[in-house]
Chain A
Amino acid sequence: MSIRFPSEEWVAAFFKAINESPEYLEGGKPWTYGVTALVVNPQPEIGLTEAYGIWLDLHEGVCREAHACTVEEAQTAPFCIFGDYARWKQVIHKELEPVKGMMQGKLKLKGNLQIIVRNVKAAQALVTCATRVPTTFLDEP
């Protein structure tokens, strides 16, 4: 069964996908830098009237906690990545690599870029987990 993105159910499925992923267990091992939050920018025309935050407490290849959060809470995380709905949809479909998205200005990072550059494999493994969540999108029938 597909799960609507974004939703608490989707965040729970993402949490499960991360912790079941051998790739993330390996690729995320060096990550000890705290929470990464993902923020979907609001898009009222598809029913997303407010920004939607996803709080991921990642540590050494494991996701210790995941929950939906406000944009204000997301901005307290050491790392926060912002993007429009269409961009996150591309990421989940594996059509947009996060690094490429950041270089194109489609995704914006708040946080220490040196750490992200050193740990790009962890970010890539995280994206692979997102692609494994069966997802339906707000802008699709």
Chain B
Amino acid sequence: MSEPEITVDASAEENGLGNMVAELLRANVESSDYKKRVFCRMKGAVGLLATDAEVRVTLAFDRGRCVVHDGILPGTTTTVSADSDSIIELSNVRVVGGLPWLFDAAGRSVVSKALHGVIRIDGLLRHPVTLTRLGIVLSVN
């Protein structure tokens, strides 16, 4: 398995969210062989919007590589929108048996926010695997 490559596109150099996500991805895949394997299977683009901060990025995964772009790239059909605190909460959801664990306090909070529209996930039904994998590689637990 080649070494994961996570880069921030020139367009996103000043994008705080983009730099944070890239740094988090690097740290997570470096510190966990499991997350590294999951990362290396990911392919496709996912948009991430911090609604209160009015910042958006696209993570373009390509089997071991990820480029973080400023804004939502055309054709991106999978997006996660939430306020900045909720995006951090998403990273705090534990992963158990390869799935996000929604039965502890962090998991229940995310479910509640999703049900109330604070966290909005577009493309969940069409790309459940990509989104599950995203949850794994961005989880800090």
Where the two chains meet, the residues of A that have a C-beta atom closer than 8 Å to any C-beta of B are 97, 99-108, 112-114, 117-118, 120
Contacts and interface: CB of A to CB of B under 8 A. Distances in A.
Size category, B interface: 20 to 34
B50 A117 contact: no
Interface stretch (B14-22, B37-45, B59-67, B121-129): B14-22
With a 10 A CB-CB cut-off, give which of A101, A103, A105 has the most chain B CB atoms.
A103
Contacts of A106: 16
Interface in B40-56: 50, 52-55
A66 B133 CA distance: 42
Main secondary structure of the interface of B (DSSP, over half): helix
Interface string B78-104: 000001110110011000000000000
Interface of B: 14-17, 19-20, 23-24, 27-28, 31, 50, 52-55, 83-85, 87-88, 91-92, 140-141
B24 A117 contact: yes
A103 B91 contact: no
Contact of B141 (A104, A108, A118): A118
Nearest to A109: B20
